[in-house]
Amino acid sequence: MEFLMKVRMALARFMQGRNGPDQLGSFTLIAGIVISLVGSVFAIPYVPYAGFALYIVSLFRMLSKNIEKRQLENRKYLELKSNITTKTRQFVKRQKNRKEYVYFKCPKCKVLLRLRRGSGEKDITCVKCGHQFHKKA
């Protein structure tokens, strides 16, 4: 038991001042595993090497001492992930409500607006830019 404690403390000392695991590192590690498995199962040449490269990137990110740069990369990844998640959620919601609402974009600022179906012709004021235009629902 004492040996494991010494190993744990040595690892903790080694990781001081290093980036450690983060969301982007976890994503690259999981993507590497998936790519390696797909390449191995379907016997696609050179694809397992791409998975191995992602393992290396993940390990590099965890052991990097340039914490500011790794945090910036992780922040950009989280913003991209958030944008994709939000757009997907909005798309699913629009598809779910497409029988009840008509969706369209403001001709000036391109923000997405909606009108209840069957409400007839309306003069619409964009909530974002204040542009007024005519639309039929």
* pLDDT tens digits along 78-101: 999 999 999 999 999 999 999 999
The pLDDT of residue 53 is 95
* pLDDT tens digits along 51-77: 999 999 999 999 999 999 999 999 999
Q: Report whether 62 contacts 43 (CB < 8 A).
A: no
Helix, strand or coil, per DSSP, at residue 44: coil
Q: Mean of the per-residue pLDDT values for the chain?
A: 92
The pLDDT of residue 134 is 85
Nearest to 124 by CA among 105, 98, 100: 105
* pLDDT tens digits along 31-58: 999 999 999 899 899 999 999 999 999 9
The pLDDT of residue 55 is 94
